[in-house]
């Protein structure tokens, strides 16, 4: 019996200058992904990925399409290495499920057959632009809270939000709000909110027992009410984009439940920028369905670290450089993962 696997894709924060350059040089399929993104976005995103500068790449408006493009380039190169023209292999590897962390969910939709490359390039370009606008309109950020009880942290955020919104001028729907935004792993939750509220919540979390409070290298209050206005423009962009029923279930960031219906996927993509990412529940759902082998495809290894805390003993195969593609191909053969 063939082991079922899940393909997982990283989100913003995993970008770094130089990412994807090796796979661009090595794989025709990967070059096709970068060419499509460059064409749709109207500027050489590939050059920005390979050469920087870092400050420009880190900007939300660029980081989001860059991470998706690089992730898809590695996926394309991996599947190319498993394709029928390679006599040792019968077919590319089909996962039982796909999922992505935040903007990685857009990548997951492509892997699941619901979006094509040019469609996702357009959407993540719009997503990054709209979220950047809210960064400017209502400055904020995110912080990882390590080693704190979830309920106590929720009380901290509720208390701060209640106080700050009572004092706010209400010029923006996110003013004064801070929430639990990313449920990454047990004992590791990221909070997100408007800057003053976030700083107050971080200080209060330390007072109430958090082991560590780590500001995240993002420029906005993602997955919080600060991003609510972005959902309106994003929904309009999504309506202009061809999205099909997924042939592979995509696990929702919002509900940690599988989605295949095209309209449900449209709703998910629009709303998740202002909703919490239920990553712990996502991995728990997948393990409940018998998934014990996870492929993290894209830059960095942040998801692997989370999975190790959620599903101890799982097999995690990273594909974030050309050498890892070769290792992954060998692992597919070793574990008999192809049908």
Residues 122 and 25 in one domain: yes
Residues 174 and 276 in one domain: no
Residues 115 and 32 in one domain: yes
Domain total in the chain: 2
pLDDT at 336 over 90: no
Domain containing residue 212: CATH number: 3.30.70.250
The three-class DSSP label of residue 73 is: helix
The three-class DSSP label of residue 300 is: coil
pLDDT at 228 over 90: yes
Angle at Cα 109 formed by Cα 188 and Cα 18, nearest 5°? 70
Computed from CA positions of residues 80, 321, 66, 270, in that sequence, does the dihedral angle turn out positive or negative?
positive
Residues 21 and 128 in one domain: yes
Residues 258 and 117 in one domain: yes
189: enclosing H helix or E strand: strand 188-194
The three-class DSSP label of residue 213 is: strand
List residues with catalytic annotation. 102, 223
The residue among 193, 219, 245 that closes a domain is 219
Residues 25 and 112 in one domain: yes
User: If you search the block for the tokens 């942040």, which residue do you land on?
Assistant: 302
Residues 198 and 314 in one domain: no
Residues 128 and 246 in one domain: yes
The residue among 219, 242, 260 that closes a domain is 219
pLDDT at 138 over 50: yes
CB 120, CB 31: distance < 8 Å: no
Determine the average pLDDT of the residues in 85-99. 73
The residue among 219, 236, 270 that closes a domain is 219
Identify the band that residue 303 occupies on the pLDDT scale cut at 50, 70 and 90.
very high
Predicted local confidence at residue 91, as pLDDT = 61
46: enclosing H helix or E strand: helix 45-51
User: If you search the block for the tokens 């399929």, which residue do you land on?
Assistant: 29
Mean pLDDT of the chain: 94
Domain containing residue 101: CATH number: 3.40.366.10
97: enclosing H helix or E strand: strand 97-100
CB 48, CB 91: distance < 8 Å: no
pLDDT at 219 over 90: no
pLDDT digits (tens, 9 = 90+) for 158-176: 999 999 998 877 789 899 9
Residues 42 and 156 in one domain: no
Residues 118 and 16 in one domain: yes
The pairing of beta strand 212-215 with beta strand 250-251: unpaired
Predicted local confidence at residue 83, as pLDDT = 80
How far out from the chain centre does Cα 86 lie? 31
Residues 12 and 35 in one domain: yes
52: tokens are 């920087």
- pTM given for the model: 0.95
pLDDT at 316 over 80: yes
Which residues, in sequence order, are CB contacts of 138 under 8 Å at separation 6+? 172, 174, 175, 194, 221, 226
198: tokens are 């976030």
Residues 15 and 121 in one domain: yes
Could you list the residue range(s) of the whole structural domain that residue 244 is in? 5-134+227-335
């Amino acid at each position: 019996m063939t082991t079922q696997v899940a393909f997982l894709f990283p989100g913003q924060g995993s970008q770094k200058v130089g990412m994807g350059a090796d796979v661009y040089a090595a794989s025709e399929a990967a070059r096709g992904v970068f060419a499509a993104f460059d064409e749709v976005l109207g500027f050489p995103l590939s050059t920005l990925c390979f050469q920087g500068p870092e400050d420009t790449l880190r900007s939300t408006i660029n980081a989001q399409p860059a991470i998706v493009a690089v992730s898809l380039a590695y996926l394309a190169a991996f599947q190319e290495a498993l394709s029928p023209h390679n006599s040792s292999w019968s077919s590319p590897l089909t996962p039982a499920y796909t999922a992505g962390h935040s903007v990685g969910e857009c990548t997951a939709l492509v892997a699941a057959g619901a979006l094509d490359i040019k469609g996702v390039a357009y959407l993540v370009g719009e997503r990054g632009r709209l979220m950047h606008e809210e960064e400017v309109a209502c400055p904020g950020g995110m912080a990882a809270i390590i080693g704190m009880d979830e309920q106590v942290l929720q009380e901290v955020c509720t208390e701060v939000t209640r106080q700050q919104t009572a004092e706010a001028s209400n010029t923006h729907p996110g003013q004064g709000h801070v929430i639990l935004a990313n449920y990454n792993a047990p004992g590791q939750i990221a909070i997100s909110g408007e800057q003053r509220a976030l700083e107050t919540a971080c200080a209060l979390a330390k007072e109430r027992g958090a082991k560590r409070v780590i500001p995240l290298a993002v420029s906005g209050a993602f997955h919080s009410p600060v991003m609510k206005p972005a959902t309106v423009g994003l929904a309009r962009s999504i309506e202009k984009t061809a999205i099909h029923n997924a042939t592979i279930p995509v696990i929702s960031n919002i509900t940690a439940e599988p989605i295949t219906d095209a309209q449900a996927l449209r709703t998910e993509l629009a709303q998740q920028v202002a909703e919490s990412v239920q990553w712990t529940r996502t991995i728990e759902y997948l393990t409940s369905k018998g998934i014990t082998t996870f492929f993290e495809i894209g830059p960095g290894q942040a998801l692997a670290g989370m999975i190790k805390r959620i599903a101890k003993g799982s097999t995690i195969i990273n594909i974030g450089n050309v050498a890892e593609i070769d290792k992954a191909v060998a692992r597919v053969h070793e574990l008999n993962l192809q049908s």
